[in-house]
């Protein structure tokens, strides 16, 4: 593996810059970060998580929810508990 990144304090500003480069406006208020394009709004506790939500919708569409079958499959594959 030639590349590794972990969420830490040094990813906050790059995440905000990435959100802005996607054409989203970013607001930090009351401990929450919100990015918006006027039609969609993404909110989380930090900009890295907001960027993750944007990517989730980008990847799975606005129907991002997992089906019951997908949930069961992922829980089994990764040993997660509900």
pTM above 0.75, yes or no: yes
Give the pLDDT confidence score for residue 81 in this predicted structure: 83
- Does any domain span residue 49? yes
- Does any domain span residue 4? no
Tell me how far apart the alpha carbons of residues 8 and 31 are, in angstroms, rounded to a whole number: 17
Tokens representing residue 58 in the block? 């980008």
Query: Structural domain tally of the chain?
Result: 1
Which helix (H) or strand (E) segment is 78 a member of? helix 68-78
- Does any domain span residue 45? yes
Q: Which residue has the tokens 């089906």?
A: 67
- Does any domain span residue 1? no
- Does any domain span residue 3? no
Q: What is the pLDDT of residues 30-67, one digit of tens each?
A: 999 999 999 999 999 999 999 999 999 999 999 999 99
How many residues does the structure list for the chain? 82
Domain that holds residue 35: 9-78
Tokens representing residue 82 in the block? 């509900």
């Amino acid at each position: 593996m030639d590349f590794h990144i972990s969420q830490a304090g040094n990813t906050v500003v790059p995440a905000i810059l990435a959100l802005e480069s996607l054409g989203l406006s970013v607001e930090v208020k009351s401990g929450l970060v919100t990015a918006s394009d006027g039609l969609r709004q993404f909110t989380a506790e930090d900009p890295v998580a907001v960027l993750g939500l944007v990517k989730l919708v980008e990847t799975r569409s606005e129907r991002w929810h997992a089906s019951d079958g997908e949930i069961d499959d992922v829980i089994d594959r990764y040993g997660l508990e509900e």
